[in-house]
Structure 1
Amino acid sequence: MREDKKTTVITFKAEEELLSALEKLPNKSEFIREAIFNALKETCPLCGGAGFLNEKQRRHWKSFAREHTLRRCGRCDGLSIECRDRESSRSHPKKSLDKEKCL
């Protein structure tokens, strides 16, 4: 966590259920700061954390999606993006899905 002095206070509205859960934490501020930093590090690369694609992003995604598909890993259940036609793809290396390792 960052060691520098915090100088700004922010507030947000919360439901009773969230308040009750936060009250059980020994350091609410530290927990909230860490949760926000972690969420920002994991922001969706497509929407930038907005939760939806704007018109231009949607156009790019539709073009990309014509040649790609989502595949669920049989080992870790994570999703990955791969070329629809792996055998004839010129831009991606060929790999055996059976030997592919989970990250």
Structure 2
Amino acid sequence: MAKDKKDKTEKSQIVAFKVDDDLANFLDKLPNKSEFIRRAILAQFNMTCPLCTGSGVVPAGLHNHFEHVIEHNSARPCEKCKTSVAFPLSPNGVVPADKARIEQFLNGGPLYCTKCYPAVPPCDDCGWHVMMEKVAEHFKKVHSH
């Protein structure tokens, strides 16, 4: 209960801005456009793409150069057992059993293999699976804002 009241008091200000018709139509189709806009703004504070610098578009030369790099570097060691784990660039097409595991990594969390992920306990605050010895680091990185 206390959290719900806190959320409402934090969201007491109304901010307005103009957008073009296409963006307005897109936003109107969302189930909760305020939440979408809040998340988009907060995401921008957290991390800007180093290739597009937040524009969403990269010059052809950068695209051509980094396409090969990304294509050949889509695996990394499991955070726990160090087995090589392949990851997609988006959660689209990921089997339902792996979706939470992959989304955790794509959102900045640790990557675990399918064997280790269920064996690592989830954080009580955000649900990310985090090894016990990395909980303090996790809280500093994810929950200190």
TM-score, normalised on structure 1? Answer: 0.42
In terms of Rg, which structure is larger? 1
